[in-house]
Structures are given as C-alpha cells and as structure tokens.
Amino acid sequence: MKYIISMLLAFCLTLVSYSGGYSADKNNAAEPDEFPIPRNIPGLLFYIQRDPNANTICYQLNLDEQGQLREKEPVHTFWIRYTDGGTRRELNYLQKKFAYGINFKSTGNSSYELTSVAYSKLPMSLRKDKKNIYHVYANIDKKECILSRVFIRIDGGTFWSPNVLYIELKGTETATGKTVIQRIKPS
C-alpha cells in the first residue's frame, strides 16, 4: 500500500511539473527543512514540496471579498515558483485535475472532507478549531494532526518512473501541540 501511495503521488507530481533533471547525487539533495517556507500567505493551510527543485504548491483557504469561505471551492491551490524569483502562478488544468488538485465534499457546519486528486486514500478534513480558525486535519503516524507540509523525495529514475525514496507528512498533533513527522517509504 505504501508503495502504491508513493508511486501515485510521485508519478502525478512529476508528470505535470517536471522542470529539469533529477539529482543523481543524494548527498547534494536538500533536506525537507532546508526548502523555503512559504511566508505572508493569508489562510495558508499546507504546502507540498518535492525534488528536483524548491517550487512549492500552496493550499490556501479560499475566501471571498467579504472574508467568507467560498463554499463551492473552499481551497485555492497555486504555485510559488522559487526558481523564477518566488513568483506566484496558478496551476494549469492538468496540474489541478491530475496532480495537485483537491476534491471536497461538504459535511455540514462549514466543514469539508478533502481528498487529493493524486491519491484519494488519504482522508483529510477542513474544519474550524476552537478559536474558529480553519485548518486541514489528517492522521499522521496514527495521530490527528493539523497538516502543514508534504514532502516527496525523488532520487533518480526517469520522467515516467521516478525513484521515490519517501513521502514525508508533517503536522502538529491536536492533542499535544507537538510536531509529528511520518515518512512513508516504498516497499
């Protein structure tokens, strides 16, 4: 199952966003915490980063001009292209439909079930906390967490068959406030 998750995510991410060669030297690969952290993005829910570059996919709360949640599309997804000077760009159709998009279903009380278009088996939810602030929740290492980052480590391989070393989920456990990190490795 872990292998299927890794391969599906890596394939979709690579297929629609490939922008250069992969590093064959894993000693020169940056660690996930060395990648840039998106800053000054109101309503940032979580983000995805992956090899071969620092370009980042951001998932932001989608609010209207009055600051109300857009119920028909509660999450807005876009790029920060660090390799292009940190410019912000919208995802194209293929990226939205096959790699980075989010499907959602209202569960009432301004809450939503979320699933990634790349992998629908990882359940997430968008809901408010006790302070009335929206977060995306997911189980990380069997603990309910507020999801903050997904990182996909790719080392070598080809355009059609990247070598996925691991997928890392990072979040904050709701019960303790501690950071939780889970690496899913292909088997």
Tens digits of residue pLDDT in 92-107? 998 898 888 999 999 9
For 110-163, what is each residue's pLDDT tens digit?
A: 899 999 887 677 899 999 999 999 999 999 999 999 999 999 888 877 654 667
Q: Per the structure, how many domains does the chain have?
A: 1
For the ranges 25-39, 97-111, 167-181, the one whose mean pLDDT is highest: 167-181
Instruction: Please choose, from the candidates 156, 147, 153, 158, the residue with its C-alpha nearest in 3D space to the C-alpha of residue 181.
Output: 147
Pairing status of strand 179-184 against strand 44-50: unpaired
Instruction: Please give the pLDDT value at position 25.
Output: 45
Cα separation, 19 vs 42, in Å, equals 28
Output the pTM of the full model.
0.82
Q: How many CB atoms within 10 Å of residue 83?
A: 13
Mean pLDDT of 64-73: 93
- Written as one letter, the residue type at 101 is G
Instruction: Please give the pLDDT value at position 99.
Output: 80
Indicate the SS3 state at residue 34: helix
Domain enclosing residue 119, as ranges: 2-184
- Written as one letter, the residue type at 95 is Q
Mean pLDDT of 12-17: 41
